[in-house]
C-alpha cells in the first residue's frame, strides 16, 4: 500500500525521529505533519507554521497561522515548491514506493554533489534518514560558520 505524502505526526514517534534535530528545532514547537520526503511541519506557540527541510537543513516559517496554511495548501504549485512533492510522484512513477515507516531520500545528498534525478532517490527507514539528515546538516552548518570570510 502506498503511503500518503502527508502523515499526521501523531502516527509516528516524533521524539525519536527528531532527536538529531534538537540543535535546530526549538522544544516549544509541536510536530504536526511529516512528509514522504522526510520534511516536517510544526506549529509554533504563536500559531505560525514552520517547515523543517531535509533538502537544505533549514527551519523556516511557511504560514502565519493555520488559516493561511489551509489557504496555501490548496495550491498544488505551493505544495510542490514548498515540499518538493514532485519527487514523490517521480519516485512512485518509477516504482520507488516508500512504506509507512519509510521516506524517500537522496542516496548522495544534493548538498554533497548528488544529482536531482530519479537514480539518486531511494527508500530509507524514516528513523535512519532523520538521524542522518540531522547530523549531516548540523555538521554542514557548523563547518560553514567555522570558515572565515575572505577579505576583499
- Please tell me the distance from the alpha carbon of residue 16 to that of residue 34, in angstroms, as a whole number: 13
Helix and strand tally (H, E) in the chain?
5, 7
Its pTM stands at 0.91
Contact at 8 Å (CB) between 97 and 2?
yes
Q: 1 or 29: which carries more pLDDT confidence? A: 29
- Please tell me the distance from the alpha carbon of residue 27 to that of residue 18, in angstroms, as a whole number: 10
pLDDT, one tens digit per residue, over 92-128 is: 999 999 999 999 999 999 999 999 999 999 999 999 9
> Percent of the chain at pLDDT above 90?
91
Annotated domain spans of the chain = 6-146
pLDDT, one tens digit per residue, over 28-66 is: 999 999 999 999 999 999 999 999 999 999 999 999 999
pLDDT surpassing 70 at residue 149: no
pLDDT surpassing 80 at residue 152: no
Helix ranges (H only) for 1-152 are 14-17, 66-72, 76-83, 86-93, 126-146
Contact at 8 Å (CB) between 57 and 48?
no
Amino acid at each position: 500500500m502506498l503511503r500518503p505524502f502527508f502523515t499526521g505526526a501523531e502516527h509516528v514517534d516524533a521524539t525519536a525521529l527528531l532527536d538529531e534535530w534538537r540543535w535546530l528545532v526549538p522544544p516549544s514547537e509541536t510536530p504536526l505533519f511529516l512528509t514522504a520526503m522526510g520534511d516536517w511541519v510544526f506549529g509554533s506557540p504563536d500559531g505560525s507554521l514552520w517547515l523543517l527541510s531535509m533538502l537544505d537543513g533549514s527551519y523556516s516559517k511557511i504560514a502565519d497561522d493555520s488559516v493561511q496554511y489551509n489557504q496555501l495548501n490548496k495550491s498544488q504549485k505551493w505544495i510542490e515548491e514548498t515540499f518538493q512533492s514532485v519527487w514523490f510522484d517521480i519516485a512512485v512513477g518509477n516504482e520507488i514506493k516508500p512504506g509507512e515507516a519509510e521516506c524517500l531520500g537522496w542516496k548522495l545528498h544534493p548538498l554533497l554533489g548528488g544529482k536531482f534525478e530519479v537514480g539518486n532517490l531511494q527508500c530509507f527507514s524514516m528513523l535512519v534518514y532523520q538521524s542522518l539528515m540531522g547530523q549531516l546538516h548540523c555538521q554542514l552548518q557548523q563547518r560553514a560558520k567555522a570558515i572565515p570570510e575572505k577579505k576583499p
